[in-house]
Structure 1
Amino acid sequence: MPEGDTVYAAATRLRAALDGERLVYTQFRVPSLATADLSGRTVTSVRSVGKHLLIDVSGPDDHPENGAVSIHSHLKMEGAWHVHPLGRRWRRPGFQARVVLRTDRREAVGFDLGVLEVLTDPDSALSYLGPDLLAVDWDRAEAIHRIESVPDEKIGIALLDQRLVAGIGNVYRSEICFLRGVLPTRAVRDVEVGAAVDLSRRLLWSNRERTARTTTGQTAANARMWVYGRRGQWCRKCGTPIERGDLGPIGEDRVIYFCPHCQT
C-alpha cells in the first residue's frame, strides 16, 4: 500500500534515472493532458512530499528558466512508477500506463496513477500539506502543533489527515497506535502527541529504502507487522486476537487493525 516511504523510494529510483537528463519523448495518457509534450526539456529534480511525487522539468530550450513545470502524481491505491532501460518489456499492461517519459537511455512509466497533472506552481498547490515525515528539514514542532490543534479528533483519524502531518497511511496508523498502546478512537487530547510523532518519523525513516516494509524489525513475510492485516491472529505481545474495524471521516471509512487488550 503506497504511503510516504513507498513514494520516497519511487522518487529515489526516478531521480537516479531522470535527474539532469533531457526528455526525448513524453506521452500523457489522460484526457486532460492529451496534448501535453515536454520532450526536449530537462528534468531538474525529482522529489517526494508526503504521498505526492514531483518531477520538476525545465522550460523550453530557448528559455529554460521560464515555463518550468512539475509532473505531479499520487499513487492512490494501485499506482506505481517503473524505471527500466529503453526497449525492455513493461511489467504491466499498456492500458494501465498513464504517462511515459524517455531519455536517451531509460524509460519511466507511471501506471494506474490516481492523480496525474502538470503544475506550474507545485509548492503552492501542495502548501496545504502538513510537515513531511521524510523531509530532511522535518519540522517536528509544527507537526505536533497541528495535531494538537484538533484535541477532540480521534488519533487514528488525525494521523491519517495529510493536512496535519504528511506520509502516514492505513498501515502506519494501525502500527503507530498499537506501538503507543492507544486505541485509534482515543481523542488526541488524551495522547502523548510528541511521542506518536517521533515514532511516526522513525518508522517511515527506517523503511524509506526497504523493499519490504516492517514495523517489528523482522523481515519474514508473516512477521513484519504487529497488527495490520492480522485480523483474528494472536497479538504478538499478549495473545489476544487482533480485531479489525473501520475508522475515517464520514463517507470515507478506512480499515483499522488493533489489539483490544494492549490498546486502551
Structure 2
Amino acid sequence: MPEGDTVWLAGKRLRGALVGHELVRGELRHPELSTVDLTGRTVTGVASVGKHLLTRFDDGSSLHTHFLMDGSWHLYSPGARWKGPDHQVRAVLGVPDRVAVGFRLHQMALVPTDDEARVVGHLGPDLLDDAWGPELAAAAVVNLAAQPDRELGQALLDQRVVAGLGNLYRTEMCFLLGVSPWCPVSSVDPVQTVRMGRDLLWRNADRPEQSTTGALGRDAQHWVFERAGRPCRRCGTRIRTAMQGPGHQARITYVCTTCQPGPHPPLTAGRRPQQPTVPRARYG
C-alpha cells in the first residue's frame, strides 16, 4: 500500500515535469472519464493530500487520483517504453519532453479546482502539509484523542483522523511507542504520536526508500514490518502477525509481544494470518 510519503514524492516529481507546460497528450482511461480529452490544457499545479493527488489545470479543473493499494505514476521520455502493461494504464499526461503515465489508478475524478473539498474534504490534517503548524498539529491531536477506546492501530490508519499514514508506518509507530496495535488510543500520548507520524513521513518523503530504523541497507529498514517469524531487533522475540480490521479493509499487523505489551488476538509467526469478519469503521 502506498503511504503518504510515496504520494508526496510522486507529486513533487510530477510538478517538476508538468507544471507550466501545455499538454500535448491528455488521456483518461477510466470508465466515467474515457471521453475527456485534456490535450491543450496547461498544468498549473500538482498537490498531494494524504494518499490523494490533485493535478490542476488552467481551465479551473483538477484531476483527482487515489493510489489505493497499488497505484503509481511513472515518468518517461517521449517514445520510451512504459514499464507496465498497457491494460493497467489509467491516465496519460504528456508535455513536449515528458510523459506521465498513471498505472492502476482505480479512483479518478475531474472536479472544479474550487471544489476539491468534494474529494479530499473528509480527510484529517495531512501530516506532510507544507502549511503544518500549531493549528494543524492541534487538530490532529484532537482527532486522535476523540475516540480513546478505539484500537490504536485502526485509528492510525483512519485517514479522517490524520492523512498519510499507511500500514507500514502504523505498524512501526506502534512498535516505537511500545504498545500493541490493539491497545486503546488512550494508551499513548496523542501529541507524541502525531509528532512521530509526521517525523517518520518527512524523514522518507524525498526518497523512494522508507526507513524507520535509520538504516537503508537491505533488510535493515524496519523494526517489525514484514519481518514475520524473525527475531525482534531489540529483544530477539519472534515477530508475530494477525489481521486488524474488517474484510477488505483488514491489514496484516506485525508485533513483538515482548516490546509491545497489551491485548492482541491469536497471533501467528506466518505471513498469512486469518482475517477477522467483524465489521468496523471505513477508512478514507
Which residue does the alignment assign to 1:130?
124
Report % sequence identity: 46
Residue pairs, 1:116-127, within 5 angstroms: 116-120=108-112, 121-127=115-121
- CA-to-aligned-CA distance 1:141-163 (integer Å, 9 cap, x gap): 10000011111111100000000
- CA-to-aligned-CA distance 1:34-85 (integer Å, 9 cap, x gap): 11111111111001000001101111xxxxxxxx111111111221101111
Distance 1:114 1:215 in 2: 29
The answer to whether 1:260 aligns with 2:257 is yes
- CA-to-aligned-CA distance 1:183-216 (integer Å, 9 cap, x gap): 0011112211111111101000000012211100
Distance 1:7 1:114 in 2: 15
Q: Judging changes above 3 Å, is the alpha-carbon distance between structure 1 residues 133 and 193 closer, same or farther for their aligned structure 2 residues?
A: same
The answer to whether 1:106 aligns with 2:103 is no
Which residue does the alignment assign to 1:41?
41
Which residue does the alignment assign to 1:97?
89
Tell me how far 1:136 sits from its aligned partner: 1.3
Equivalent residues of 2:64, 2:119 under 8 A apart: no
Which residue does the alignment assign to 1:175?
172
Distance 2:192 2:238 in 1: 26
Tell me how far 1:252 sits from its aligned partner: 2.5
Name the SS for the 1:32 alignment partner. coil
Tell me how far 1:251 sits from its aligned partner: 5.8
Which residue identity does 1:191 align to in structure 2?
V
Equivalent residues of 1:71, 1:116 under 8 A apart: yes
Distance 2:162 2:55 in 1: 22
Name the SS for the 2:160 alignment partner. coil
Name the SS for the 1:16 alignment partner. helix
The answer to whether 1:158 aligns with 2:155 is yes
Which residue identity does 1:86 align to in structure 2?
P
Tell me how far 1:241 sits from its aligned partner: 0.4
Distance 2:144 2:216 in 1: 31
Residue pairs, 1:10-89, within 5 angstroms: 10-59=10-59, 68-89=60-81
Q: Judging changes above 3 Å, is the alpha-carbon distance between structure 1 residues 2 and 251 closer, same or farther for their aligned structure 2 residues?
A: closer
Structure 2: runs of 5+ lacking an equivalent: 262-284
Distance 1:132 1:251 in 2: 24
TM-score (norm 1): 0.94
Distance 1:143 1:249 in 2: 24
Residue pairs, 1:98-247, within 5 angstroms: 98-120=90-112, 121-138=115-132, 139-247=136-244
Equivalent residues of 1:72, 1:118 under 8 A apart: yes
Tell me how far 1:88 sits from its aligned partner: 0.8
Name the SS for the 2:9 alignment partner. helix
The size of the alignment, in residue pairs, is 256
- CA-to-aligned-CA distance 1:153-183 (integer Å, 9 cap, x gap): 1110000000000000111000000000010
Tell me how far 1:249 sits from its aligned partner: 4.3
Distance 1:250 1:99 in 2: 29
Which residue does the alignment assign to 2:268?
none
Query: What CA RMSD, in Å, does the superposition of the two structures yield over aligned residues?
Result: 1.1
Which residue does the alignment assign to 1:2?
2
Which residue identity does 2:184 align to in structure 1?
A
